[in-house]
A and B are shown apart, each in its own frame.
Chain A
């Protein structure tokens, strides 16, 4: 075959490998409405199932009467807990080691809880059937406050007490109270308290990180099809971890794993909401087994907001101590975590509060202690990581607020306080007081670049002038400069300490090179908008020297993809991306032997060069990867098996630690509470950059979700446990109109332990963005005496802050 591209640069460009802003291959179908989502799946004879949901947050169920419902034309069946109990499916395990009702077993614990599953010919008949099911409830006292829950005589979960009413042990140790789930402690309590007692300066603050929701554009759903002839179950669904779902389905249903095929088709956003298992999945499977027909279940928006996995709901109290000069000496953090009616977070088993212990942030804090208490209340279950790994957003918000509060206490500039406490470049790998080994970082360089780009000193001078003008009555607008410097922890994770329900958190890639020099790669992950088909092909292109355009990436079908733990917590590039590179290297190793044979030299005498192997010192003698692929299949080579395939399972040696510096400049109208983001600068260091355009897209999306959470997005309950924000009228999803122009920037500090040095970027902008937006609001009020106020900073809460500071007098 003739090699027409001659210059080396051309050959590199032709690959569209790492570093190239290659256009997303997914977008052709998404922009033309040709995606294939769960609700697009239509099978012959398919039925539709939907739930009767509880209007009450806490009630005993006295009876469920389906008689009238079964008379509704088109309704075939109504499943209740009683029907599931003989199969042992009325409860199911959660990913957090707890269990959860599939259908209300005698009582309900939150508004919207699944009570009965109506199976009908179509969704209209199902909706009418739901109306006709008569449920008799006896209301019980409602607890929506986790602190009150720990003092209440009301036992929410009967399975948390023994016959004497004493609290039994939970999945993570003893309970302090029947409504208590776990206590998780990290670090040195006594030493930390001593450091704080003896410190020059101590800042204390309590903050509430409100409950919110990932709200993916596509809601959750599934289609189950049980083939009674061959005994095989096919389950399509909105699964961020299809293999884990297969294993769970096998464990709880008793079907053998080879008889279950789980398929995640296109997924319209996940953000953590689609990691866990939902009653709808189980019920669609049972209904398909019962009826012998495929059954679809799709949530509507209200179902999704009210019942599927929420995020946050963390009450955090911190103490941070420092010397007079501002050198931090200790950090103490106490969290009360509201998990709702069931503990359904998706954290690795050994980390019941996720990676909250990254809460020492980017700072060299010698002594620290963290304690988290998980509590049951009458709210929906969840506690997932919304665009962050396992509580990292909470941790980063906590430390970035504590830094600001400490700066107030020290009467010091918050940018300077950060600078003097950053972990220094030469301290990496850095052992944190709460147990992590940060792989690499160069915080000072990033920070200085950020401050210089926005002219930080100029902004502070302008802010000072504005404060004076406000005091003189010349303006009603104040100005805030939001700072945030975050260190992320992603890529879960090393199997020795990371598993979910006992499943090790490795990931995988399997590659087959076709004889004509194109390839298919399959991974254990699943894209929900991250562009895996684009970026993973780029990694491979650089590793194996075939153009990215000639490589198909396929994910999400457990019958074809190698086992993996899925996509969430920015783990795909750190874990599956590493597996991809490693599998690529296996391909290359075999290709090297083939090339040497074809070139009639020793293996060690050829070397890889972009898209070919060349004879060392004689670059005109080469074999391209395309030629090698052809030979691998079609030429008898002594001592080498035909074919060119490889598989790699990658168990990461460590997590990766992306970081970044964000700055937000905001104007606030103190009379209306309206905020106006004038500027947002985001510097991200995610290590090696695979596709800069996709990185930028991820940053824009993550920042927008951060803006939403900081400025108004919440799941609010009244004291009777009614959800007040169950539709998009009240649940804030920003549109292009509310979103500012983002300026993105970067530094590159590769991960030393990752095969290509990449660290992951999907969640960084959210993790760093939330404190940045919040700090901008709080910073605007700092000159007027504010220390801390809780998010979300919507209009009325900002107005209230101004009002309480006397700014309307």
Chain B
């Protein structure tokens, strides 16, 4: 569990980061909290001859909450999310989800940017961001661009981010309605067996809008448009719930691992989604 030797850089601004990335291409990587990257380096599964620390880049840890949108700097830690009262009021699902990530030690280090940029299907924030229809701001040699979370993930560890781009911020339209982040895991510190992020808007007895995303049930997070559509226009009776679950099950493609076989994961995905919808509905 000793990484191969690497050069360590700690630039003071983004352009410094970009120039190192440009110079070393594939051989360079940024490090944020390090709680995904360092284990991979220690296992020698990631070979990073040039490691660029983002800790000294100013302005990347801010949280801004307005009536319409929330912006979270990429270097904001999961602990900062839990600790931020404005955020807890504006988008309580963020705190609910962050509290289910890893353990306090990891959350003090792990960042939102690292979590969403990593592209690990086990990470909780990508699905959450898809549910919330977030956009990611990327800065590279050609300047800045934004990519919707729902279009960011291509395959395990493969995202729309170019090698020499840095993810600087996540922007979320301030969510409305009821919410729930439901996660089954084997123990504290474990990635999800199945997790569901749900936002629901209710008008009287009727669901007028919904968004559903699932985690660790495919090689990318799964934003299930059909599952959400199955709820809209209903009063979330058992028929609607079942239709949503059935639609979600069409979209996911879990694989067997130590958490269990595929049949089990599909079953749990259905249970977790049902619970998340019910909880979100009760809060809507």
Minimum Cβ distance to chain A for residue B199 (Å): 23
A127 in contact with B2 (CB, 8 Å): yes
Minimum Cβ distance to chain B for residue A730 (Å): 5
A799 in contact with B260 (CB, 8 Å): yes
Residue B261 is within 8 A (CB to CB) of chain A in the complex: yes
A671 in contact with B186 (CB, 8 Å): no
Residue A418 is within 8 A (CB to CB) of chain B in the complex: no
Residue B144 is within 8 A (CB to CB) of chain A in the complex: no
A795 in contact with B260 (CB, 8 Å): yes
B184: which A residues are within 8 A, CB to CB?
672, 674, 795
Residue B111 is within 8 A (CB to CB) of chain A in the complex: no
Interface size on A, residues (CB 8 A): 31
Nearest B-chain residue to A50, judged by Cβ: B2
B259 in contact with A672 (CB, 8 Å): no
Minimum Cβ distance to chain A for residue B63 (Å): 28
CB within 8 Å of B: which A669-686 residues: 671-674
| 10 A-B pairs with least C-beta separation | A796-B260, A127-B2, A300-B1, A796-B264, A737-B188, A730-B258, A671-B271, A735-B188, A799-B264, A672-B268
Minimum Cβ distance to chain A for residue B230 (Å): 20
Interface residues as binary, B79-118 with A (CB distance below 8 Å gives 1, 0 otherwise): 0000000000000000000000001000000000000000
Task: Report Cα–Cα, A800/B267, bound state, in Å.
Answer: 11
A712: which B residues are within 8 A, CB to CB?
186-187
Task: Report Cα–Cα, A672/B187, bound state, in Å.
Answer: 14
B2 in contact with A800 (CB, 8 Å): no
Partner of A735, one of B187, B191, B268: B187
Which of B1, B188, B258, B268 is the most central at the interface, judged by chain A CB atoms within 10 Å of its CB? B258
Task: Report Cα–Cα, A796/B1, bound state, in Å.
Answer: 30
Residue B67 is within 8 A (CB to CB) of chain A in the complex: no
A808 in contact with B267 (CB, 8 Å): yes
Task: Report Cα–Cα, A737/B102, bound state, in Å.
Answer: 12
Minimum Cβ distance to chain A for residue B276 (Å): 13
A730: which B residues are within 8 A, CB to CB?
258
Minimum Cβ distance to chain B for residue A276 (Å): 23
Interface residues as binary, B251-284 with A (CB distance below 8 Å gives 1, 0 otherwise): 0000000111101100110011000000000000
Task: Report Cα–Cα, A253/B260, bound state, in Å.
Answer: 48
A738 in contact with B187 (CB, 8 Å): yes
Residue A140 is within 8 A (CB to CB) of chain B in the complex: no
Residue A794 is within 8 A (CB to CB) of chain B in the complex: yes
Residue A504 is within 8 A (CB to CB) of chain B in the complex: no
B259 in contact with A795 (CB, 8 Å): yes
Task: Report Cα–Cα, A795/B5, bound state, in Å.
Answer: 40
Interface residues as binary, B1-42 with A (CB distance below 8 Å gives 1, 0 otherwise): 110110000000000000000000000000000000000000
Task: Report Cα–Cα, A732/B186, bound state, in Å.
Answer: 8
Nearest A-chain residue to B258, judged by Cβ: A730
Interface residues as binary, A703-729 with B (CB distance below 8 Å gives 1, 0 otherwise): 000000000100010000000110001
Residue B154 is within 8 A (CB to CB) of chain A in the complex: no
> Given A124-B5, A716-B258, 9 more contacts at CB 8 Å?
A123-B2, A671-B271, A672-B272, A673-B264, A729-B190, A735-B188, A737-B188, A795-B268, A799-B267
Task: Report Cα–Cα, A730/B201, bound state, in Å.
Answer: 38
CB within 8 Å of B: which A287-311 residues: 300-302
Task: Report Cα–Cα, A808/B267, bound state, in Å.
Answer: 9
Q: Assuming A730-B258, A799-B260, is B1 touching A302 (CB within 8 A)?
A: yes
Task: Report Cα–Cα, A131/B43, bound state, in Å.
Answer: 12
Partner of B193, one of A123, A716, A795: A795
B272: which A residues are within 8 A, CB to CB?
672
B268: which A residues are within 8 A, CB to CB?
671-673, 795, 799
B103: which A residues are within 8 A, CB to CB?
735
CB within 8 Å of A: which B39-77 residues: 44
Residue B189 is within 8 A (CB to CB) of chain A in the complex: yes
Residue A734 is within 8 A (CB to CB) of chain B in the complex: yes
Residue A128 is within 8 A (CB to CB) of chain B in the complex: yes
Which of A730, A732, A799 is the most central at the interface, judged by chain B CB atoms within 10 Å of its CB? A799
B267: which A residues are within 8 A, CB to CB?
671, 799, 803, 808
B259 in contact with A796 (CB, 8 Å): yes
Which of A672, A725, A808 is the most central at the interface, judged by chain B CB atoms within 10 Å of its CB? A672
Minimum Cβ distance to chain B for residue A334 (Å): 30
A808: which B residues are within 8 A, CB to CB?
267
Which of B44, B184, B187, B264 is the most central at the interface, judged by chain A CB atoms within 10 Å of its CB? B187
A738: which B residues are within 8 A, CB to CB?
187-188
B5 in contact with A128 (CB, 8 Å): yes
Minimum Cβ distance to chain B for residue A419 (Å): 36
Minimum Cβ distance to chain B for residue A399 (Å): 29
Nearest B-chain residue to A799, judged by Cβ: B264
A735: which B residues are within 8 A, CB to CB?
103, 187-189
A800: which B residues are within 8 A, CB to CB?
264
CB within 8 Å of A: which B159-193 residues: 184, 186-191, 193
A128 in contact with B4 (CB, 8 Å): yes
A732 in contact with B187 (CB, 8 Å): yes
B261: which A residues are within 8 A, CB to CB?
796
Minimum Cβ distance to chain A for residue B81 (Å): 20
Task: Report Cα–Cα, A563/B1, bound state, in Å.
Answer: 37
27 inter-chain pairs at a CB distance below 8 angstroms, sorted by A residue, are A127-B2, A128-B5, A131-B4, A131-B44, A302-B1, A671-B268, A672-B184, A673-B268, A674-B184, A712-B187, A725-B258, A729-B190, A729-B191, A734-B187, A735-B103, A735-B188, A737-B188, A794-B186, A795-B186, A795-B264, A795-B268, A796-B260, A796-B261, A799-B260, A799-B268, A803-B267, A808-B267
